[in-house]
Amino acid sequence: MIMRKRIIEVMGIKTIQLYDKTKINQANLMFSRRQLWQLLIPLMIEQLLNALMGMVDTMMVSRVGSAAISAVSLVDSINMLVMQVFTALAAGASIICSQYMGKRDQKGCNEAARQIVLTVTVIAAVLAVVCVAARRPLLSLVFGSVEADVMEYSQIYFLITALSYPFIALFHAGSSFYRASGNSRFPMKVSLCVNLLNIGGNALLIFVFQWGVAGAALATLISRIVCAVVVMWFLRKPDQPIVVRDYRTIRPDFGMIGRVLSIGIPSGIENGMFQFGKLAIQSTVSSLGTTAIAAQAMTIIFEMVNSVGASGIAIGLMTVVGQSIGAGRKEEAKYYIVRLAAYAEAALIINCLLVYLCAKPVTILAGMEAEGAAICLQMTLAITIVKPLFWVPAFVIPHGLRSAGDVRFSMITATLTMWLCRVVLSVFLMRYCSSGPMGVWIGMFADWMIRGIIFSVRFVKGKWLRFQVV
């Protein structure tokens, strides 16, 4: 009982002694319960939509064949590495803008937003040019020798999806501005419409025009162009907290860009190391054959789906904590981390159970081969059991710490646990213990557990409150 009580306290479910109740005025909180849910529910729905659409996308591509889904899975490993750069910059944007919002400094917030738009556009354009020009050497370097048809599909998919980088970067940045001001409904609506456009494009280009992998990539490119245009167009409207317009007049403010990058670079390194680790693991998985690659690809989709509720809450936590820190309400920031961690834990348990119940029907609908489906279901069961124990303190609590500016500690911790636990252990298990793709998840479970303990201790000690971003 004592050990169980301690685990509950570390995971943030028990609120006693984790913040000073005497300093919390329930009648004067920055976010009421209603306001919290108005922020969190659209975020959870958006995460669910993105994950479900990713699952549908995978299922549609799988109808082209195992080589096609393997190619998409391999290229998406690289694409996700690039996306993490944009996610990190968007996180920096959300943190800085939310703290300006907490300080009630709209002018500073708008100027920060303009500099963020400039920064992400330049970075994304450079990355797109590099990836398009060097796509074949990159694929060969990362994945080595794969089957000829898989490599051919990979090059096609990589070429077209790389062209979408500037557009998805602008969408992430624009969405972060809305979330920083507490408006998560608008990005959700745009995401819904664009995902439906992507699925419709897949259906048309894959099944009607028979363009296969190229059709899936084109649908992705078109949908990302649309989402960027819509978000940036609406940011021009003056009757909202954050306004970005007159793009031609934007000139570099290196002081502001430095503040953005001081948040974005550590987060980008953290996310980049995470994706590099996944690539190292994926490279090993690819050597196990097409069946293992397909099973791992579908399992990753299931794992993404069962995180949607908790991930949405974690994203919302950045706005809540950022505004609390900006307003100088540090005790409220602690209170909200504890409260939203409890919400995330409940959401995670429910989602994991629902995904496991739906996993077998999905593998059947996806047309997976029996062997690959069996491996996938085995890994999904393990995730369903282990994830609710460790995931929230490992991934939700750090969002709160980063929102206060504590990004370097997060970067160092996440990078070390990623490489020492997830990569080294996973590769060892697959190569020397014949664990198959299950070795990936054993390493991941170890990463979650150690990371969760470290971040929980960091939160309790309160060192993350000593940072200042704006």
Residue numbers in the chain where pLDDT is lower than 50:
1-8, 10-16
CA atoms 204, 364, 72, 92: torsion sign: positive
Assess contact for 318 and 95: CB atoms under 8 A. Answer: yes
pLDDT for the residue numbered 453:
94
DSSP at 186? H
DSSP secondary structure letters along 141-185 = HHH-S--HHHHHHHHHHHHHHHTTHHHHHHHHHHHHHHHHTT--H
Helix and strand counts by DSSP (H, E) for the chain: 17, 0
pLDDT at 160: 94
DSSP one-letter code for 247: G
Contacts of 179 by beta carbon, 8 Å cutoff, 6+ apart: 39, 43, 94, 187, 315, 316, 318, 319
State the pLDDT at residue 317: 93
Percent of the chain having pLDDT more than 90? 36
**Residues in Cβ contact with 470 at an 8 Å cutoff, skipping those fewer than 6 apart:** 96, 99, 100, 103, 105, 108, 259, 326
Q: What contacts 89, CB < 8 A, 6 or more positions away?
A: 116, 119, 120, 123, 169, 172, 173, 260, 264, 268
Instruction: Give the per-residue pLDDT at 293.
Output: 80
pTM: 0.80
CA distances from 70 to 30, 201, 300, 310, 409 (A): 47, 20, 13, 28, 36
How far is it, in rounded angstroms, from Cα 177 to Cα 297? 32
- Rounded Cα–Cα distance for residues 404 and 8 (Å): 24
Q: What's the number of CA atoms in the CB half-sphere (13 Å) around residue 70?
A: 24
Q: What's the pLDDT score for residue 245?
A: 85
Residue whose pair of structure tokens reads 């097409």 in the numeric block: 290
Residue 71 to residue 160: CA distance in whole angstroms: 13
Measure the CA–CA gap between 224 and 83, rounded to whole angstroms: 13
Interval 274-283: pLDDT, tens: 767 776 777 6
